[in-house]
Amino acid sequence: MQQPTDFNHLSDDDLERHYLGMIADESEMAPLEEHLLACPSCVERAASTQEYVDALGAALVTIRED
């Protein structure tokens, strides 16, 4: 994962893993969250990623109901 101290933007993969709940290690989660506090661009991308993950979840529920 890219470190927030150099202000490289977070990768799409890191954002997806975050919203899918795949980051359990605090040493990986803390820098990601710190970066999101300081980078409006990544916050915007994070919101889009969360919408995408939510849509995937809703689609899975629909598929399971059918």
- Report whether 9 contacts 18 (CB < 8 A): no
Model pLDDT, residue 4:
44
Distance CA 61, CA 2 (A): 33
Q: Which long-range contacts (CB under 8 A, 24 or more apart) does 24-29 make?
A: 28/1
pLDDT at 66 over 80: no
Model pLDDT, residue 65:
86
Q: What is the pLDDT of residues 6-53, one digit of tens each?
A: 568 999 999 999 999 999 999 999 999 999 999 999 999 999 999 999
Angle, helix 40-65 to helix 26-38, in steps of 10 degrees: 120
